[in-house]
Copies of this chain bind each other. A is one copy, B any other.
């Protein structure tokens, strides 16, 4: 009988509210993949079979919806990372991780994994996620470098760069899996120790955790103040 004496739901939601929340998230994934991240909120609501008010009550902003919609894909990425670390072959683990994440981007038309990259520690519930992911990823890189498989001058930010680029590709060419696979193959080959060939330019200051929100919608219209 603490503060809210009523309501039994495990997350404080009534049963129908919880069901609608799930419906909304499911619809959001479909609609965002089909019409892009800027699809009208009303479309998501209609697809989910709920009113717009219900949608806005649960997710006050579009960002909140997007983050929540793709949270489970963040989990998929985190799982892939864990598996990669568990792989006895460091290079194999690294390669598997990159391919898994890119496949996710490819199948979901680039939106989800773009947000895995762009909002790693955005929501409170995923705050630890971002830090842990970054730590684990650095471990993965160091291990593969120590094994002599991954080039020594690869910087962790290079994965963020590669993922954003791949995301751009699959967004531009939603249907072209060959292009995506081809790019991934090239990138992975250039990450191998043998590919190192002269000095690289300085790495980006980008981090897996701190990508600017500019990576959002179309082209950042909404970020310009003035």
For the complex formed by this chain, how many copies does it contain in all?
2
Asked if A27 is at the interface of the complex by the 8 Å CB criterion, the answer is: no
What residues of chain B lie closer than 8 Å to A161, measured between beta carbons? Answer: 169, 179, 182-183
What residues of chain B lie closer than 8 Å to A171, measured between beta carbons? Answer: 168, 219
In the bound complex, how far is the Cα of B174 from the Cα of A174, in angstroms? 22
Extra contacts besides A164-B168, A173-B206, A186-B190 (13): CB < 8 Å: A36-B220, A157-B179, A158-B182, A165-B165, A166-B168, A167-B168, A173-B204, A178-B202, A182-B203, A186-B187, A186-B191, A192-B195, A195-B197
Chain A interface residues (CB < 8 Å from chain B): 34-39, 109, 114, 118, 155, 157-158, 161-162, 164-169, 171-174, 176, 178-179, 181-183, 185-187, 189-192, 194-197, 200-206, 211-212, 214-215, 217-221, 224
